[in-house]
């Protein structure tokens, strides 16, 4: 009969803290990896109510395994059996992690200096830090109290080498990296200065989002420069705002169902005034008042495609409508293109396909899809 395994045989680096056999602090070793752990068993020796404290490395490895660990505690007859189960679980987790994914601990001075840098910025600006302390997310507010985040991927040679940054700015974030005593604080200040330069742009986009029905994008980010705005009667206008000149309308503003406006839009765009908002400019040059959330419902403009009978198709909405005002049926461009291409009577010239509206049979055209 095999001898019963003792706790020392399973975890020789797990040291009892008293003579009760209920408190242990030390390390659990698996595949040349050692993780600090503390285990506290209640007086009734019920493992189901045991408290386990893990180091951040072990906690990261066991992330998402809480239910499995509770199950193992409830089913194990003693602490030794549980530790065997825990080591088996850790072995499986380590094997399932891609090579190179295991956490690499930097020099202690790296963490000390990084903590000092974050204190200089202020802890309330820190939104997220990953377990390796290599990825940081910082938050800044502009003068209108809008929140903006910057994700910083620190170099393994930090602070000697510059980090990579990801932002939701409408333009590229270029920064000057100086490996001085407070490089992260200097980077964060540069980010805040760039936010100031885009405030007028965000004011213009916020007004459009607040006072009109935006059909696309469904959830615009702070980096998004385009809006497709509902006009009514299956008509919409798509405008792309230049972040450097956010009050002026670009000449490539596109209008669907141009019969709603009557006059060629591109001829009137040159009349935009830099002293008023982009929304006011758009309404002035088009001679229309956009439907607003205060006077209409978005469902009034969320018309289904006349071919596939869906509103959204691969994250796009119907953006092509019949030009005849008596019809005005909307279509997804892809749907209309495939429909016209299947008709024997349709014809193609360069990148345009000509045919008949599936509903009223009046002439209709669509650009070829890429």
Q: How far apart are CA 173 and CA 171, in angstroms?
A: 6
pLDDT recorded at residue 351: 80
Query: Cβ-count burial of 277 within 10 angstroms (0-12 exposed, 13-18 middle, 19+ buried)?
Result: middle
CA 203 to chain centroid = 22
Look at residues 186, 220, 60 and name the one whose alpha carbon lies nearest to residue 117: 186
CB 322 within 8 A of CB 359: yes
pLDDT at residue 72 in the model: 87
Domains, the chain, with CATH or none: 7-96 (no CATH), 108-196 (3.10.110.10), 212-299 (3.10.110.20), 303-367 (3.30.40.10)
Per-residue pLDDT of 298-316, as tens digits, reads: 766 667 888 898 888 887 8
pLDDT, one tens digit per residue, over 52-71 is 998 888 888 888 888 888 88
89 Cα distance to chain centroid: 32
- Over residues 220-275, the pLDDT tens digits come to 999 999 998 888 766 778 888 999 999 887 755 555 544 444 444 554 555 667 78
DSSP states of 254-295: EEESGGGT-S-HHHHGGG--TTS-HHHHHHHHHT-----TTT
pLDDT at 262: 41
Cis before 159? omega within 30: yes
- The better pLDDT of the pair 99, 320 is held by 320
């Amino acid at each position: 009969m095999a001898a019963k395994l003792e706790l020392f045989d399973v975890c020789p680096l797990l040291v009892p803290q008293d003579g009760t056999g209920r408190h242990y602090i030390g390390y659990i070793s698996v595949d040349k990896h050692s993780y600090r752990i503390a285990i506290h068993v209640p007086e009734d020796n019920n493992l189901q109510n045991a408290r386990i404290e893990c180091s951040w490395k072990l906690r990261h490895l066991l992330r998402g395994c809480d239910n499995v660990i509770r199950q193992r505690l409830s089913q194990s007859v003693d602490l030794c059996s549980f530790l065997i189960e825990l080591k088996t679980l850790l072995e499986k987790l380590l094997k399932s992690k891609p090579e190179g994914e295991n956490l690499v601990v930097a020099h202690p001075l790296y963490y000390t200096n990084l903590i000092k840098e974050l204190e200089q910025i202020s802890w309330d600006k820190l939104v997220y830090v990953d377990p390796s302390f290599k990825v940081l997310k910082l938050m800044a507010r502009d003068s209108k109290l809008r929140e903006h985040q910057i994700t910083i991927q620190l170099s393994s040679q930090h602070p000697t080498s510059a980090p990579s940054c990801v932002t939701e700015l409408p333009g590229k974030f270029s920064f000057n990296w100086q490996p001085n005593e407070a490089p992260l604080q200097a980077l964060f200040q540069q980010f805040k200065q760039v936010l100031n330069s885009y405030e007028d742009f965000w004011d213009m986009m916020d007004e459009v989002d607040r006072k009109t029905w935006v059909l696309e994008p469904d959830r615009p980010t702070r980096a998004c420069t385009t809006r497709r705005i509902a006009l009514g009667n299956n008509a919409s206008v798509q405008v792309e705002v230049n972040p450097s000149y956010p009050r002026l309308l670009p000449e490539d503003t596109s209008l669907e169902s141009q019969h709603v406006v009557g006059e060629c839009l591109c001829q009137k765009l040159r009349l935009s005034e830099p002293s008023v908002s982009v929304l006011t400019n758009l309404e002035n040059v088009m001679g229309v008042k956009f439907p607003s959330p205060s006077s209409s419902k978005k469902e009034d403009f969320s018309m289904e495609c006349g071919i596939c009978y869906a509103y959204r198709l691969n994250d796009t909405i119907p953006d092509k409508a019949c030009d005849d005002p008596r019809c005005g049926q909307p279509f997804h461009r892809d749907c209309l293109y495939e429909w016209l291409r299947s008709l024997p009577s349709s014809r193609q010239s360069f990148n345009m396909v000509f045919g008949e509206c599936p509903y009223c049979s009046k002439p209709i055209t669509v650009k070829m899809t890429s």
